[in-house]
Structure 1
């Protein structure tokens, strides 16, 4: 299991709610991406592959099952703190940095709360 803490919620994050898309980025996100991202900080070491199909992403008490993981998602998460989470069915061609989860409900977000990645 790995854990990260929400440090900042960009002003435009809620505008992606209709698209069922949430963008996570680490503390070093460039300014132009901060306003559309949930900025977070890992608590401890990040495993090489925290995201696997069938694994879980948990926001507080909201649990999501991972249904698809893009080819670069684990690398991007480990190096940049970046992934794009889609609360929808996976497309035919999953983008490299994408992660698809179910249920298809946008989570509640709050600065200081944790996000857990479980296998």
Structure 2
């Protein structure tokens, strides 16, 4: 599944210090658009079936290994296009919608960049 970033919220990239990016599909609530990257599938619907450890998240040209996934992340992604991606080591307990990746390098976020799970 691929999607494309269609909007970068005004405050979405201000969470670099916290090492987290919030993704939402086009039906994101207005109050969360400012802190989110809004993205839309290039075809079909959101598919969280590959949102699993030992798979990869590709943001543009940057490839990340998925290390941990919260219990609701796949469902949230399929329903709302929503996940919170953390570029850090996961704590012992993670939030239900969290996805942890490595390397712990902040991505170069661009309008029109693709998002893919593989």
TM-score (norm: length of structure 1): 0.94
Superposed CA offset, 1:27-48 (max 9, x none) = 0111110000000001223335
Partner of 1:84: 84
Instruction: Give the distance between the partners of 2:102 and 2:4, measured in 1 at CA.
Output: 21
Superposed CA offset, 1:28-87 (max 9, x none) = 111110000000001223335220101001112110000000000000000000000000
Partner of 1:63: 63
What 5-or-longer segments of structure 2 have no aligned partner? Answer: none
Partner of 2:109: 109
Runs of 4+ in structure 1 over 6 Å off: none
Instruction: Give the distance between the partners of 1:104 and 1:94, measured in 2 at CA.
Output: 17
TM-score (norm: length of structure 2): 0.95
1:42 pairs with 2:41: yes
SS at match of 1:74: helix
